[in-house]
Amino acid sequence: MTKKRRRLPALIKDMGSCLFKKPFTQEYPFVSVQAPEGYRGRQTFDPEKCISCGLCERDCPAKAIELVEVSGKRMPYFYLDRCIFCYQCAEGCPRNAIQLSTNFEMSTTEKDELLVKAEEFISKQNISSDEGQ
């Protein structure tokens, strides 16, 4: 008997037992999933801390950051379609204005949605300070 034939009963037994086991895969996106601590996801940015030094733009190896004039101050725009999530920008920022996040949900068919503008964080900050009043 060949090796292949001897393995066949064991294979059928395994297949049969798998039919009654819970699947190992997760039901994402129907069930939300939390990325582990330290996961390098989408950046967050604090416009209040930014001093427009331009180090993030200069150090980014993927040219995924562009400093743009926003509210009289030059602040980063993040091009996530180019970003390799190395986090050089966060490590090099002298004011810790760029922070890690575990948000990995970036899949889209619209390239424009992968441009993260500094304005998004300004409006978020205004909303949270308004709520605190």
Check binding of 118 to ligand SF4 (CB under 6 A). no
Contacts for 60 with CB less than 8 Å, ≥ 6 apart: 88, 89
Question: Exposure of 61 by Cβ count < 10 A (0-12 exposed, 13-18 middle, 19+ buried)?
Answer: exposed
Give the distance, in angstroms, between the CA of residue 114 and the centroid of all CA atoms in the same chain: 11
Sole window of 16-24, 47-55, 104-112, 125-133 interacting with ligand SF4 (rule: CB under 6 A) = 47-55
Residue 62 is a binding residue for ligand SF4 (CB under 6 A): yes
Binding mask 89-108 for ligand SF4 (x = CB under 6 A): x---x-x-xx----------
| Interface with ligand SF4 (CB under 6 A), residue from 12, 84, 106, 127 | 84
